[in-house]
Amino acid sequence: MTKKSKVLITLIIAALAAFPLVPNKYVLLLLFHYLIFAVLAMTWNFLAGFSGLVCLGYGIFVGLAAYCAGFFTLSGASTLLGLVVGAFVAGVAGIFLAVPTLRLRGVFFAIGSLVLCEALRSFFTVFKPTEGAFWGGVGIPIRAAIDLRELYYLALLVALTCFLCLREVLKSKLGLGLLAIRGNERAAVTCGVPVFRCKLVALAICAFFTGLAGGVFYLFQGHVEPNSAFSISWTMLAAIGVILGGIGSLEGPLLGAGFAVIFHITLAKYAGLSFLIEGALIMGMILWQPRGVARLLR
């Protein structure tokens, strides 16, 4: 990282941290969403761009962490503690997903994640906590006594930790292993890179941060129900950010998350249409500009 980009990043972080002082709630809300989406995009990029794992069931991690926080609220314990526990549960779910699918061809991981997401969705639809449940007994509340500004700082903290952590991981031995696998998996195996373990650890780390960000999002939402928590749109959200921003680069997803905010929040009124445009954009980018917008700016 050059000195110039270091200064730039420090400036951006300072601006983001100072922003809540401006009393505009709508923009603060947009930025809060941006931070959450940025974490999803960063982790998805780490999986798809660096580890060769295309995860289609991102709802798994988001939903599990959110439900965990919800159960802590229901039982009267601290919701924030539930959030952290939920993130660990999401990490464990990542490992659970990895064991049967990672030794197989890449597509089995992709579809395996879709299957697990669907399984969890139907599980939480049938399984109803009795106390405090609403929406036909399917939804559960998540409550914590914090306002939007504090939530924003929480999201900023999560996003920063995630960014720094992923950057450190990439520099470490694990990151080198992942880069070797991305280059040529067979050659990496021959050179003694523990492919399975590398992918497993990468998945667990990404699942943890995704869960954390998803949990913070549901803290803002105030309730969780299976159809939105284990929804396919979490994957779409992460994928659009990564593919538009630039897959396989560290700063690409940060840029792409901005597009995700535009499509999912400001264009939420035209939900069906915005998904159509997103799909077309993903196809177009992969076919003609696979390195994303980040490459164009460089």
Partner 1 sequence: MSTGLSLIGSVMVNGVLLGGIYALSGYGLAISFGVMKIFNLAHGDLMILACYLAYTLQGLWGISPLISIFIGPPILFVLGVVLYKALIRRPLSTTPDAVIMITFALSIMLQNACLLIWSPMARGLITGISLKSIPVGSANVPLVYVIDFGAAVALMFGLKFFLSNTWIGLAIRATAQDRSAAELCMVNTEKIYAIALGLSTAISAFAGVLLGLVFPFTPVSGVNLLLISFAVVVLGGLTSMTQCFCGGLIIGLTQVLSGLFLGTGWQSFCLCLAIFVVLLMRRDFS
Residues engaged in binding partner 1 (CB under 8 A): 48, 52, 54, 56, 99-101, 103-108, 110-112, 114-116, 118-119, 122-123, 125-126, 232, 235-236, 239, 243, 271-273, 275-276, 278-280, 282-283, 286-287, 290
Cβ proximity to partner 1: between 98 and 212 the closer is 98
Least Cβ distance, residue 97 to partner 1 (angstroms): 9
Q: For residues 89 and 98, which CB has a smaller minimum distance to partner 1 in the complex?
A: 98
Nearer to partner 1, 56 or 260 (CB): 56
- The nearer residue to partner 1, 35 or 140, going by C-beta atoms, is 140
CB of 281 to partner 1, least distance (A): 8
Task: Give 100 or 222: the residue with its C-beta nearer to partner 1.
Answer: 100
To the nearest whole angstrom, how small is the minimum distance from the Cβ of residue 114 to partner 1?
Answer: 7
SS3 track for the chain? CCHHHHHHHHHHHHHHHHHHHCCCHHHHHHHHHHHHHHHHHHHHHHHHHHCCCCCCCCHHHHHHHHHHHHHHHHHCCCHHHHHHHHHHHHHHHHHHHHHHHCCCCHHHHHHHHHHHHHHHHHHHHHCCCCCCCECCCCEEECCCCCCHHHHHHHHHHHHHHHHHHHHHHHHCHHHHHHHHHHHCHHHHHHCCCCHHHHHHHHHHHHHHHHHHHHHHHHHHHCEECHHHHCCCHHHHHHHHHHHHHCCCCCCHHHHHHHHHHHHHHHCHHHHHHHHHHHHHHHHHHHHHCCCHHHHHHC
Question: Please, which residue, 43 or 235, has the CB nearer to partner 1?
Answer: 235
Q: Min. distance of Cβ 232 from partner 1 in angstroms?
A: 7
CB nearer to partner 1: pick between 114 and 165 = 114
Residues 6+ apart with CB under 8 A from 181: 51, 52, 188, 193, 195, 198, 199
- Report the nearest approach of partner 1 to the CB of residue 103 (Å): 6
Give the nearest distance from C-beta 14 to partner 1 in angstroms: 35
Question: Closest distance between partner 1 and the C-beta of residue 94, in Å?
Answer: 14
